[in-house]
Amino acid sequence: MDSAQSAPRVVITGLGVVSSLGLDVEDFWANILAGRSGISRLTGFDVTDYPCKIGAEIVDFDAAKLMNPKEARRNDRYTQFGFVAAKAAVADAGLNPAAEDSDRMGVIIGSGIGGMHTYEQQLRVLWERGPRKVSPFTIPSLISNMCCGLVAIELGARGPNYAVVSACASGAHAIGEAFNAIRRGETDVMIAGGSEAAITPFSYASFCSMKAMSTRNEQPEKACRPFDLNRDGFIMGEGAGILVLETLAHAQARGARIYCELAGYGASCDAFHITQPDPEGRGLSLAMKRAVAVAGVHPEEIDYINAHGTSTPYNDKFETLAIKQVFGDHARKLMVSSTKSMTGHLLGAAGGVEALICAKALQTGGVPPTINYEQPDPECDLDYVPNVKRSAPLRVVLSNNLGFGGQNASLVLRRLE
């Protein structure tokens, strides 16, 4: 396409989620609006010697019942999550892949870490049983692009297909790149989002050694408290959030139910530090400004921001600063919340799950709360929708995600007019 003005409009027609708060969108959304926490003491491995012993772990997921049992055995947990969420999103969209032009249907699914379960399992096999016992499915299972590859095989989608790996911004970047592929005229339909399954012994040990995770182990459901003065680190979650994106014309032609329009995408880099956000908020500010500009809306039109809001001291402070830089006086009028307070931080899947939350907020007018907000932080002084959901006539919302390495991604969604 020659310009943004001539680019096709992109809409969201299907949603799929796998989360500690539910394995289908309606259960998940009901729990989000109710302010329920999906965080508990971990059961998947012995956490006795770990400083952080809690997470948003999915305990009721049986991949063999939700996909081909052979494929379930061959693929990592992160691929299972993404595959199940993608199939649910396609079903929710009422999309019949066999009736589509397969060359104009693509899949972009991000993962910050990929097949960590497979990596750890097969390393143990190597150390304990030797190299000849390592599974021939090890590499296909652990690589970060296998989820989008398996989804494409299932759907027969021959369009653009790749993974985005940008740490905790991966899911949002994947949706943004899918948005761009449609706007460039390359595709009519894209399956996009993020998937992550990094609640493993090695992963937890690594994050704990960084002192990045909360140690509020005695009250798991109260541990994640974004923007609260007493926040002490993030809580890891796992799962997937997948969207079906289409051109507006394509969705209308097949009579699809439309959740909302995906109107803008902005990406940037802090170019500052490998793990710490820019203390002046310049990178995230740039991503938000770019997303708003692509959407063709004024900053004052944004009603709600689903913040990255990790519950770490630096992130929440600097994200608040960036929001004030972009929105000025309007920053104190719009609503901001962090649903990670309930879902935990799904790393590379966070952007997919949180974009899904924004789509449901636009559809229903429900604004998710930030739970566990008890003690205001003078440096975090916006309206964080504390503890209880709200109802509001939302028109335009924004979702932020940041990743280690300084990667930033912002998405603008709006009610379809």
Distance (Å) of CA 291 to CA 50, 92, 210, 297:
39, 27, 32, 9
**Same-domain status, 224 and 248:** yes
Please list the alpha-helical segments (H only) found in 163-233: 170-183, 201-209
**Same-domain status, 290 and 152:** no
* Active site (annotated) includes residue 168: yes
pLDDT of 5: 59
**Same-domain status, 170 and 203:** yes
Dihedral angle sign, alpha carbons of residues 157, 161, 165, 171: negative
Q: What mean pLDDT comes out for the span 8-24?
A: 98
User: Residue holding tokens 């081909």?
Assistant: 68
**Same-domain status, 243 and 314:** no
**Same-domain status, 164 and 282:** no
**Same-domain status, 293 and 189:** no
H helix or E strand, kind and range, residue 124: helix 116-129
**Same-domain status, 222 and 271:** no
* Phi, psi for residue 241 in degrees, rounded to 5: -135, 120
How do residues 366-414 score in pLDDT, each as one tens digit?
999 999 999 999 999 999 999 999 999 999 999 999 999 999 999 999 9
pLDDT of 2: 37
Question: How much is the pTM?
Answer: 0.97
Task: Please state, for a pLDDT cut of 90, what percent of the chain lies above it.
Answer: 98
CA-to-CA distance for 15 and 95, rounded, in angstroms?
12
Reduce the DSSP state of residue 187 to 3 states and report it: coil
Distance of CA 36 to the CA centre of its chain: 18
Catalytic-labelled residue, pool 168, 208, 224, 358: 168
Domain of residue 398 covers 263-414
**Same-domain status, 240 and 295:** no
How does DSSP classify residue 375? S
Q: What mean pLDDT comes out for the span 81-110?
A: 98
Q: Is residue 124 part of a domain?
A: yes
Does residue 1 surpass a pLDDT of 60?
Answer: no
Instruction: Decide: 252 and 83 in contact? Cβ < 8 Å.
Output: no
**Same-domain status, 391 and 327:** yes
How do residues 113-170 score in pLDDT, each as one tens digit?
999 999 999 999 999 999 999 999 999 999 999 999 999 999 999 999 999 999 999 9
Distance (Å) of CA 57 to CA 21, 22, 381:
9, 11, 31
How does DSSP classify residue 235? -
Asked which of 253, 279, 312 is the last residue of a domain, the reply is: 253
CATH number of 216's domain: 3.40.47.10
Asked which of 253, 277, 312 is the last residue of a domain, the reply is: 253
Residue 3 confidence class, pLDDT cut points 50, 70, 90: very low
How do residues 224-282 score in pLDDT, each as one tens digit?
999 999 999 999 999 999 999 999 999 999 999 999 999 999 999 999 999 999 999 99
CA-to-CA distance for 273 and 279, rounded, in angstroms?
10
Residue 8 confidence class, pLDDT cut points 50, 70, 90: very high
How does DSSP classify residue 346? -
Q: Which of 118, 116, 20, 26 is nearest to 60 (CA)?
A: 20
Rg (CA), the chain: 20
Catalytic-labelled residue, pool 117, 308, 358, 380: 308
Strand 189-196 with 105-110, pairing:
parallel
Please list the alpha-helical segments (H only) found in 3-110: 25-34, 63-66, 69-74, 77-92
Q: Which of 201, 238, 205 is nearest to 63 (CA)?
A: 238
Distance (Å) of CA 151 to CA 82, 219, 330:
8, 38, 41
pLDDT of 6: 84
**Same-domain status, 388 and 294:** yes
* Active site (annotated) includes residue 345: yes
Q: Is residue 2 part of a domain?
A: no
How do residues 289-322 score in pLDDT, each as one tens digit?
999 999 999 999 999 999 999 999 999 999 999 9
Tokens of 12: 């969201």
**Same-domain status, 61 and 182:** yes
Which neighbouring-strand residues pair with 182? none
**Same-domain status, 68 and 176:** yes
Does residue 4 surpass a pLDDT of 60?
Answer: no
Tokens of 9: 């409009």
Q: Is residue 136 part of a domain?
A: yes
Catalytic-labelled residue, pool 208, 345, 358, 380: 345
Q: Is residue 5 part of a domain?
A: no
pLDDT of 417: 83
Asked which of 253, 288, 308 is the last residue of a domain, the reply is: 253
* Active site (annotated) includes residue 298: no
Q: Is residue 1 part of a domain?
A: no
How do residues 203-237 score in pLDDT, each as one tens digit?
999 999 999 999 999 999 999 999 999 999 999 99
pLDDT of 268: 98
CA-to-CA distance for 378 and 333, rounded, in angstroms?
17
Instruction: Decide: 304 and 397 in contact? Cβ < 8 Å.
Output: yes
Q: Say how many domains are in the chain.
A: 2
